[in-house]
Structure 1
Amino acid sequence: MSLSVSLTHRLGDFTLEAAFDAPKGLTVLYGPSGSGKTTLINAVAGLLRPDRATIRVAGEVLCDTARGIWLPPHRRRIGYIFQDARLFPHLSVKHNLRYGRWFAPKSHPPARMDDIVDMLGIGHLLDRRPASLSGGERQRVAIGRALLAAPRMILADEPLAALDEARKQEILPYFERLRDELSIPILYVSHAPSEVARLATTVVALENGKVLSVGAAAQVLGDPRVTPMGARAAGAVIETRIAGHDSDGLTELALGDLRLWVPRVSGDLGAPLRVHVEAQDVMIATRRPEGISALNILPVKIRDIRIGQGPGALVQLSAGESVLLARVTRRSINTLGLTAGQDVYAVLKAVSVAKENIAGKNAP
């Protein structure tokens, strides 16, 4: 299944113009507040009537303004997960989940409730009311309710924004499972770079109502010219495999022929991992440095340099088949004489890569 969107909508002085295809997997609408993410997702859900739009899911038309087609929300078979779980406070977890089943069409029966409960680890919560649950538990119940409606796609509007860091780390693995195990598209709104890097199969970068770029997470996040959240939030995604676990608490990752050390992560040898490396943590050296504490010194080639309007610059680096970004000053660019095509070294402290920036690689 896939989602296809072509949409134009005006709200006061703001105009949203977006066109993209979202394949199976998890597509993130990524951009700052006010870029049009929620407007777009609400148009897909049918909660907003766009001025002009064509929206299709799995080939079925949900909206085509030119032909006068507009399916109401309850006929779109879409599971919507909000920032706040929006559970019925007077119902138990079990009955909140059963409410989701009520929307499943007879022609598309939902998954077994026991299977959803087991996947989300909420069996011990079934007799409790929402008020007695943590924020992470409420979101897991909201995910289960959406799945039990037998949706043909899932919409998630910044579902982790209201959670603290610990609860976010609790919920992220469940979205990874949805991404890897469901055969339906998931459209996920976020402005958190690490969240996007960890979850996204596809990224739609938005700014001021316009689509800046659409593509795989590594492609979009590794482009120094696509920074909807600003250069300070820039960072690249690299695909690695576990090469070893050392006795001093570090894990060795294989990046093609290169090696990268990070704080110990769980996983078997050879297991694929996706790593988000923030541009502000990468330094550049024109000669291989010696006598420094940083463990990761990678031979790389400069692919592109983007000079910002202020004192900063983003440098795109080829590291084997992967791409890194380094955030440096314009003065450093000039002092070191950095140019595209130059062979240099990327320097990265092992402890700079936080555990929350490392996750199992999504299925293709």
Structure 2
Amino acid sequence: MVNRQSTNRLEVKLTKQYSEQSGFSLDVDLHIAHTGVTALFGPSGSGKTTFLRCVAGLERSPQGTINLNNEIWQSRDFWLPTHQRPIGYVFQEASLFPHLTADENLQFAIKRANKSHAIITYDEVIALMNIEPILSQYPQQLSGGERQRVAIARALLIQPQLLLMDEPLAGLDDVLKQEILPYLEQLCRRCRIPILYVSHSLDEVIRLADYMVVLNKGKVVEQGETQNLLGTLGTSFSKYQDASVLISGTVEKQESQWTLSWMNFGSQHIVFKQGNEQLGDTVRLRVQSKDVSLSLSKHNDSSILNKLSVVVDDMEEDQQDPSMVMVRVLAESTPILARITSLSAHNLKLKKGQSLIAQIKSVAVLS
């Protein structure tokens, strides 16, 4: 049975200087105090993997401290070797033992496991990753997605107190990514341990992460809860052409006649195309700013189904395109971004605190 460990807290303070020729140094100070998924996000070369390897003990920072649950892994005069750190590590490549079957790879992890801190059983791992049909096969007989699912299962069966995932989908094509993402979502929901997830794919981060840390040139430039960070003006995300927000809620209604589901959040709802979700399920929806229009009143003679009551919270002119404005509105406490023309903002006489209707043309179901 998966157990919640509410005391989990990872504290990392690192300074790692590389050669003067490269000009790169890692300088971070992070406190990760919850059990969800923290995404390390940023461009290639920003220090994401270096940070992860330092936490794992695969690289050593001359200056820094690392501790989990008040257990010191690194200090000025102490260094805990990698094999003694209670971590599971999933690399870009599955790195399975080629001479062992999938099940034998898992049994190898079980022998190394710390059974006094069990977070998940063998049967739960098999079901979670859906790998029972391939347990007797060797790595070379498996697809890339299957190998990565076995690698994730192996990392979990070590019974880690911290799971590190270094771009686990980077080596997969789009088809295989879509195959494995649902398993990662289940993993992130069920394993109540901190997960550090490295990625430069915003789609993956939006789909999986509760909290985001944005790195650039070895330094933390932005951090916060994913939903809040994406919906805040002045961040790097609000400047994206396809700036998006994340809206979470519960499926409250379904109509098979129209193959539609209704997701409730607060006192409002969003209608979306019905998939595999069931009544009572929690779902995440991605709403792009370009798919949101603003109106002074609700019109019923429109094909747009989703019309939310919102209040203007902030506005920002697009520095690259002065003809456009990004408007942040709040549907109760949920932020939504709308990218509209400056002329439209002028005609609507937009101001902070103004009540409007946000019309959402389309949404993407993430989970």
TM-score range, shorter chain: 0.7 to 0.9
Mind listing any 5+ residue stretches in structure 1 that lack a counterpart? 360-364
Equivalent of residue 363 in structure 2, options 353, 360, 364: 353
Is 1:210 equivalent to 2:219 in the alignment? yes
CA, structure 1 residues 204+94, in 2 after alignment: closer, same or farther (shift >3 Å)?
A: same
1:193 to 202, 206, 209: 202
Per mean C-alpha deviation after superposition, the further-off stretch among 42-51 and 166-175 is: 166-175
Q: Distance in 2 between matches of 1:236 and 1:59?
A: 35
The reply to whether residue 122 of structure 1 matches residue 131 of structure 2 is yes
Q: CA deviation at 1:167?
A: 2.5
How does 1:131-280 map onto structure 2 within 5 Å?
A: 131-227=140-236, 230-246=239-255, 247-280=257-290
- Residue 232 of structure 1 aligns to a residue whose secondary structure is coil
Give the Cα separation in 2 of the matches to 1:103 and 1:113.
Answer: 14
The offset of 1:134, in angstroms, is 1.6
Specify the alignment match of 2:334 in structure 1. Answer: 322
Deviation at 1:186, TM superposition (A): 0.7
Scaled by the length of structure 2, the TM-score of the pair is 0.87
Alignment match, 1:21: 31
Determine the C-alpha separation between the residues in 1 that align with 2:316 and 2:221.
Answer: 16
Q: Distance in 2 between matches of 1:171 and 1:24?
A: 22
Q: From the superposition, tell whether residues 228 and 30 of structure 1 become closer, same or farther in structure 2 (CA, over 3 Å).
A: farther
Structure 1 residues 245 and 228: alpha-carbon distance in aligned structure 2, compared to 1, 3 A threshold: closer
Q: Secondary structure at the match of 1:4?
A: strand
Q: Name which of 27, 46, 60 aligns with 1:35.
A: 46
Q: C-alpha displacement at 1:263, in angstroms?
A: 0.8
Which residue in 2 is equivalent to 1:7? 14
Change over 3 Å in CA distance of 1:125–1:229 after alignment to 2: farther
- Counterpart residue number, 1:283: 293
Contact 1:27 1:203 in 2 (8 A): yes
Match of residue 362 from structure 1:
none
Cα deviation, residue 108, structure 1: 4.9
Contact 2:230 2:238 in 1 (8 A): no
Matches within 5 A, 1:58-137: 58-64=69-75, 67-105=76-114, 108=117, 111-137=120-146
Give aligned pairs, total: 353
Change (3 A) 1:126 1:297: same
CA distance in 2, matches of 1:193, 1:212: 16
Closer, same or farther: CA 158–233 of 1 in aligned 2, 3 Å:
farther
Deviation at 1:259, TM superposition (A): 2.5
**Aligned-partner residue type, residue 275 of structure 1:** L
1:303 paired to 2:313: yes
Secondary structure, in 3 states, of the residue corresponding to 2:93? Answer: coil
Quote how far apart the aligned CAs of 1:44 are.
Answer: 0.7
Q: Write the deviation string for residues 175-212 of structure 1: whole angstroms up to 9, x where unpaired.
A: 23332332321111122233222222222233333323
Q: Aligned to 1:137, what secondary structure does the other structure show?
A: helix
**One-letter code aligned to 1:252:** W
Q: TM-score, normalised by structure 1?
A: 0.88
> Contact (CA 8 Å) 1:32, 1:228: kept in 2 or not?
no
Hey, what's the Cα distance between the residues in 2 that align with 1:339 and 1:207? 34
Provide the C-alpha distance between the structure 1 equivalents of 2:336 and 2:104, rounded to a whole number of angstroms. 48
Distance 1:213 1:101, change over 3 A: same
Distance 1:290 1:7, change over 3 A: same
AA aligned to 2:260 is: L
Structure 1 window deviating more from structure 2 (308-317 vs 132-141): it is 308-317
Would you say the 8 A contact 1:231–1:327 is kept in 2?
A: no
Displacement after TM superposition at 1:73 (Å): 1.4
**Structure 2 partner of 1:47:** 58
**Alpha-carbon separation, structure 2, partners of 1:332 and 1:14:** 44
Task: Map Cα deviations across residues 278-318 of structure 1 (whole Å, 9 max, x no partner).
Answer: 22322223444564432222221111122332014432110
Check conservation: 2:119, 2:191, Cα contact below 8 A: no
User: Hey, what's the Cα distance between the residues in 1 that align with 2:245 and 2:120?
Assistant: 36
Structure 2 residue matching 1:117: 3-state secondary structure: helix
Say if 2:120 and 2:159, in contact at 8 Å, map to a contact too: yes
Q: CA deviation at 1:274?
A: 2.2
Residues 3 and 21, structure 1, Cα contact 8 Å, conserved in 2: yes
- Rounded Cα–Cα distance in structure 1 between residues aligned with 2:270 and 2:114: 49
The residue type paired with residue 189 of structure 1 is: V
Alpha-carbon offset, residue 110 of structure 1: 7.7
> Alignment RMSD, CA only?
2.4
Q: Cα distance 1:107–1:253, how it changes in 2: closer, same or farther (>3 A)? A: closer
In structure 2, runs of 5+ residues without a counterpart are 1-7
Amino acid at match of 1:259: H
Identity of aligned pairs, percent? 40
Q: State the secondary structure of the residue aligned to 2:204.
A: helix
1:134 is aligned with what amino acid?
A: S
